[in-house]
Homo-oligomer: A and B are copies of this chain.
Amino acid sequence: METLTIGELSARSGVAPSALRFYEREGLIHASRTSGNQRRYDRAELRRVSFIKIAQQVGVSLDEVREALDSLPENRTPTKADWSRLSARWRYRLQERITVLERLRDELSGCIGCGCLSLQRCKLANPGDRLAAGGTGPQRILNPAAS
Contact = CB atoms under 8 A, between A and B. Distances in A.
A47 B145 CA distance: 27
Interface stretch (A25-33, A34-42, A69-77, A110-118): A110-118
Interface residues of A, number: 70
A88 interface: yes
A111 B87 contact: yes
Interface string A118-135: 111010111000011111
A59 B145 contact: no
Contact of A12 (B114, B119, B131, B134): B119
A14 B109 contact: no
A59, A114, A136: residue with the most chain B Cβ atoms closer than 10 Å? A59
Interface in A67-102: 79-84, 87-88, 90-91, 94-95, 97-98, 101-102
Contact of A104 (B58, B79, B109, B133): B58
A112 B87 CA distance: 6
Q: Which 4 A-B pairs have the closest CB atoms?
A: A59-B142, A80-B115, A134-B145, A84-B115
11 contacts: A12-B119, A12-B120, A53-B138, A56-B139, A80-B115, A94-B105, A97-B142, A98-B102, A135-B145, A141-B142, A142-B142
